[in-house]
Copies of this chain bind each other. A is one copy, B any other.
Amino acid sequence: MTLDAPAYRTTPQREAILAVVREAGDHPSAREIYERVQVRRPGIGVATVYRTLELLAAHGRVLALQLGDDPIARYDGNVADHDHVLCEGCGAVADVAVPLPPQVADAVESATGFQVRTQEVQFLGRCPACRT
């Protein structure tokens, strides 16, 4: 049993969408992904993009994110464990790895009774260009 075999049907649309997310340097929204994928496969529908992103996220091929106060979902092709830094000036987003010590999750568990599976940190500040 291979670990990386997709448990879903592979189609040209899905491959194109996954490629777009993986090649994106920023953290594109569904609409941005929809627009970019038109270059590869003109005619692809918005619904397909949304359904595929949900599928890929459920299978851990991409990360679905809500960044800051922005209500729009964003997607990240980097599925390694990492966190995000947001610029309050221009909206830029950078990936950053912040390995919290396991004691932090332990403290949360004993304080709340929740069993913690994972965590994500979001930092808010100003990017180099916006520090004036």
Known contacts A66-B71, A112-B85, A126 near B117 by CB under 8 Å: yes
A19 at the interface (CB under 8 A from B): no
Contact present for B128 and A124 (CB under 8 Å): no
Shortest beta-carbon contacts, A-B, top 9: A116-B125, A113-B128, A66-B66, A117-B125, A119-B123, A85-B114, A114-B125, A115-B126, A115-B125
Contact present for B98 and A107 (CB under 8 Å): yes
Contact present for A87 and B114 (CB under 8 Å): yes
Q: How many residues of A contact B (CB 8 A)?
A: 40
A interface residues (Cβ-Cβ under 8 A, vs B): 64, 66-73, 85, 87-88, 94, 96, 98, 100, 104-105, 107-109, 111-128, 131
Chain B residues with CB below 8 A from A100, complex form: 100, 121
Task: Give A65's nearest chain B residue, CB to CB.
Answer: B69
